[in-house]
Amino acid sequence: MKLVNYDSSWKQKGYELPEYDREKVRKATKENPTWIHFGAGNIFRGFPAAGLQKMLDEGSYDKGVIVSEGFDYEIIEKAYKPFDDLSLLVVLKSNGSIEKKVIGSVVESIIADAANTTEWDRLKEIFKNPSLQLASFTITEKGYSLVDSKGDYLGVVVNDFEAGMDKPMHIMGKITALMVERYKNGAAPIALVSMDNCSHNGDKLYAAVETYAKTWVLKGYVEEGFLKYIKDEKKVAFPWSMIDKITPRPDDKVKQMLLEDDFEDTDLIITSKNTYTAAFVNAEETEYLVIEDTFPNGRPPFEKAGFLFTDRETVDKVEKMKVCTCLNPLHTALAIFGCLLSYQTIWEEMRDTELNKLVNKIGYVEGMPVVVNPGVLDPQDFIKAVLDLRLPNPFMPDAPQRIATDTSQKIPIRFGETIKAYHNSDSLNVNDLTLIPLTIAGWCRYLMGIDDNGNEFTPSPDPLLSELQGFVKNVKLGDTNLDKDLLKPILSNDKIFAVNLYEVGLGEKIEGMFKELIADKGAVRETLKKYLG
Ligand SMILES: NC(=O)c1ccc[n+]([C@@H]2O[C@H](COP(=O)([O-])OP(=O)(O)OC[C@H]3O[C@@H](n4cnc5c(N)ncnc54)[C@H](O)[C@@H]3O)[C@@H](O)[C@H]2O)c1
Ligand SMILES: O=P(O)(O)OC[C@@H](O)[C@@H](O)[C@H](O)[C@H](O)CO
């Protein structure tokens, strides 16, 4: 059974198939595209693209989505093109049942490489077309960042600033260059929609595009009117969004299950840029996509796919609820301690007495007091489902190592916002926080790359990894004579934590916890026991 040859006989094996004329959809989309997505990773296929398939199946929409990849071209070359852009979504429910769906809503895949004239020209053509209503993004938080940990522009960004729109290399330079094409060809309206897990994601995207636009205007590469166009909300909107669906890397057990069906396209691919991809995606059943309803050129009727549309203030509350308290900080705590305690899956960690208590207390006790009920989702119901059903789901192959990727980029939103809220509150005392500081101390311990048995492990990729590891590289388990300023460069960095942890009164507390965590082999476990009773 090969994806490109799927036919109705697959239904007998429980596969759901596209119910629409894919060639007709493809033709209509190529002529008048409405939606292009950047970031061809797992979440895109597992959620937004699958949502569109629902709309196509029920006939509430008639266009597909075009996917573009501006960072890791291998994803397109190895996981899209050979399969005619089809993918298989495997939904792993907490009751053990599974759904298998062939997703055909992606009808074109394009490498966003300005040096590849054919692909780049096609992207320009798409952006020139007034029919285009939105460009969306799942490119990880670091995709929007133009600077390093010291706040200096990245080399690639400096080069783009100098070289102008012809050969941009950074994804934000590429998007801005494509927006210049749109501006010069009628300046039709559009929404640029970040769907990444970062605070006020629309503003992050706007800030990056605006920086490029300002610089290129200043250098004379494009006229001033372009900047006005980007800044005009009636022309170019940057809605905020919150996306939620745990989508682990393609998993070997799922691969084996598919092989038993005689499904052949199961190769697990790790690209040279470390993306874990395949022709199939495995994900949980729960999904929420909440988007600020600001689309100056209209939008597909995504409500039909179950996406929620609301105002900016509500998106902000939902995002804070999920990313700052009820899911992602718990994930990061499990990622850090899971790697230190040599776990390979999140659901097994949820059966560990201390780790289970840790995330329950971070969520309910330390995080919940600063959560504002967004109305559209109830925080108590949400966190209960996360802690009792979603994270413990033994059918979900999610791994602490995946979640530990880019922790330095995620810590400010996942923990910094709560610390800030305590610090600024009249009724809450930052000194009452214990498990969030313990998790930050755990992260410093994690950076040593030595697990709780004293064995080396390879920390997950992170743009600041080598810089941060430099600060703890000489620390050994059992050291009692640590340099008193050892952790200062890390804990005082407000770019990493959203606050200077010494200024809010947590720096010394975390230093003390770090000493406990490095006391000996087994000290991570003992320290968790100490603080969790
Ligand atoms: N997987 C999930 O459970 C999940 C759930 C909700 C939200 N998200 C959001 O989606 C993002 C991507 O998740 P995924 O599952 O698709 O991951 P993935 O590893 O499958 O794909 C990552 C994508 O980001 C791109 N990317 C990585 N670094 C980049 C950079 N520096 N510049 C431009 N593009 C870059 C990659 O090329 C790829 O397209 C997450 O970081 C998160 O913000 C993921
Ligand atoms: O995707 P990241 O790297 O931002 O974070 C890792 C996980 O916490 C995240 O992917 C969750 O699975 C997701 O946010 C659930 O909706």
**CATH code where residue 324 lies:** 1.10.1040.10
Co-location of 79 and 163 in the same domain: yes
Co-location of 306 and 328 in the same domain: no
Co-location of 226 and 325 in the same domain: no
Q: Whose alpha carbon is nearest atom 7 of ligand 2?
A: 403
Report, in angstroms and rounded to the nearest whole number, the Rg of the chain calculated over CA atoms: 23
Give the per-residue pLDDT at 198.
87
Select from 310, 338, 360 the last residue of a domain.
Answer: 310
Question: Is the entire prediction scored with pTM above 0.90?
Answer: yes
Co-location of 280 and 321 in the same domain: no
Co-location of 242 and 378 in the same domain: no
Give the per-residue pLDDT at 435.
98
DSSP character at residue 62:
-
CA atoms within 13 A on the CB side of 277: 24
Sign of CA dihedral 294, 299, 301, 307: negative
Q: Is 22 buried (19+), middle (13-18) or exposed (0-12) by CB count in 10 A?
A: middle
Q: Count of domains in the chain? A: 2
Which atom of ligand 2 is the closest one to the Cα of 198? Answer: 4
CATH code of the domain covering residue 12: 3.40.50.720
Rounded Cα gap, residues 138 and 159, in angstroms = 24
Rounded Cα gap, residues 224 and 294, in angstroms = 24
Centre of ligand 2 from the C-alpha of residue 246, in Å: 6
Co-location of 116 and 131 in the same domain: yes
Centre of ligand 1 from the C-alpha of residue 123, in Å: 21
CA atoms within 13 A on the CB side of 344: 3
Name the residue type at position 99: E
Give the per-residue pLDDT at 5.
96
* CA geometry: angle 189, 303, 390, nearest 5 deg: 120
Give the per-residue pLDDT at 521.
97
Which atom of ligand 1 is the closest one to the Cα of 40? Answer: 39
Co-location of 257 and 341 in the same domain: no
Q: Whose alpha carbon is nearest atom 11 of ligand 2?
A: 246
Sign of CA dihedral 28, 30, 34, 35: positive
Q: How confident is the prediction along the chain (533 residues), in pLDDT tens digits per residue?
A: 999 999 999 999 999 999 999 999 999 999 999 999 999 999 999 999 999 999 999 999 999 999 999 999 999 999 999 999 999 999 999 888 999 999 999 999 999 999 999 999 999 999 999 999 999 999 999 999 999 878 899 999 999 999 999 999 999 999 999 999 999 999 999 999 999 988 899 999 999 999 999 999 999 999 999 999 999 999 999 999 999 999 999 999 999 999 999 999 999 999 999 999 999 999 999 999 999 999 999 999 999 999 999 999 999 999 999 999 999 999 999 999 999 999 999 999 999 999 999 999 999 999 999 999 999 999 999 999 999 999 999 999 999 999 999 999 999 999 999 999 999 999 999 999 999 999 999 999 999 999 999 999 999 999 999 999 999 999 999 998 899 899 999 999 988 898 999 999 999 999 999 999 999 999 999 999 999 98
Which atom of ligand 2 is the closest one to the Cα of 196? Answer: 4
Centre of ligand 2 from the C-alpha of residue 248, in Å: 9
- Alpha-helical (H) ranges within 129-200 are 155-163, 171-184
Residue among 201, 276, 331 whose CB has most ligand 2 atoms within 8 A, to mutate = 331
Q: Whose alpha carbon is nearest atom 24 of ligand 1?
A: 139
Co-location of 519 and 372 in the same domain: yes
Centre of ligand 1 from the C-alpha of residue 44, in Å: 8
Co-location of 17 and 139 in the same domain: yes
Rounded Cα gap, residues 159 and 151, in angstroms = 16
Rounded Cα gap, residues 83 and 230, in angstroms = 36
Q: Whose alpha carbon is nearest atom 12 of ligand 2?
A: 246
Select from 310, 343, 358 the last residue of a domain.
Answer: 310
Which atom of ligand 2 is the closest one to the Cα of 245? Answer: 16
Co-location of 331 and 208 in the same domain: no
Residue 249 domain boundaries: 3-310
Ligand number with the minimum distance to the CA of 332 = 2
Centre of ligand 1 from the C-alpha of residue 39, in Å: 7
Select from 284, 310, 336 the last residue of a domain.
Answer: 310
User: Ligand 1 — pocket residues by CB below 6 A?
Assistant: 39-44, 69-72, 75, 138-143, 171, 196-197, 243-247, 275
Q: Whose alpha carbon is nearest atom 13 of ligand 1?
A: 43
Contact 14, 260 (CB under 8 A): no
Which atom of ligand 2 is the closest one to the Cα of 398? Answer: 12
Q: Which of 513, 502, 498, 354 is nearest to 444 (CA)?
A: 513
Residue among 38, 67, 138, 197 whose CB has most ligand 1 atoms within 8 A, to mutate = 138
Q: Whose alpha carbon is nearest atom 20 of ligand 1?
A: 41
Co-location of 434 and 474 in the same domain: yes
Co-location of 399 and 273 in the same domain: no
